[in-house]
Amino acid sequence: MAKNFRCKGGELDLIAKKGDLLVFIEVKARKTSNFGYSAEFVNGVKRKRILNCAKYFIQKNRLDNLDIRFDVIGFDGENLEWIENIFMEEV
């Protein structure tokens, strides 16, 4: 549906829609997991930015009738992990 959507204070890496589900996907990459896994770097501040940008995207595109999910795709060296419902928030 969209990628690299920018708004004041943040960016949404990927936005996908399947039926009545709108998925906001944060993509994180690190060369190795020696100092932590990439998904662990989606902290409270980053979540707030994602949430605020998601609210703006929903309003701008009049998509408030859809279910929402927040995912993270993490690349750590050669490992790929897709975590669905990484956090639950009301939009």
pLDDT tens digits, one per residue of 49-70: 999 999 999 999 999 999 999 9
Query: Given this model, what pLDDT does residue 28 score?
Result: 87
pLDDT tens digits, one per residue of 4-45: 999 988 899 999 999 999 999 999 887 766 666 667 777 888
Domain covering 2-83, topology? Trna Endonuclease; Chain: A, domain 1 (3.40.1350)
Reported pTM: 0.85
Query: Given this model, what pLDDT does residue 91 score?
Result: 62
Contact 22, 67 (CB under 8 A): yes
Closest CA to 24 of 46, 6, 48, 51: 51
Query: Given this model, what pLDDT does residue 76 score?
Result: 81
Both tokens of 29, joined, read 């990459």
pLDDT tens digits, one per residue of 63-91: 999 999 999 998 888 788 898 988 776 66
Contact 72, 39 (CB under 8 A): yes
CA atoms of 12 and 7, how far apart (whole Å) = 8
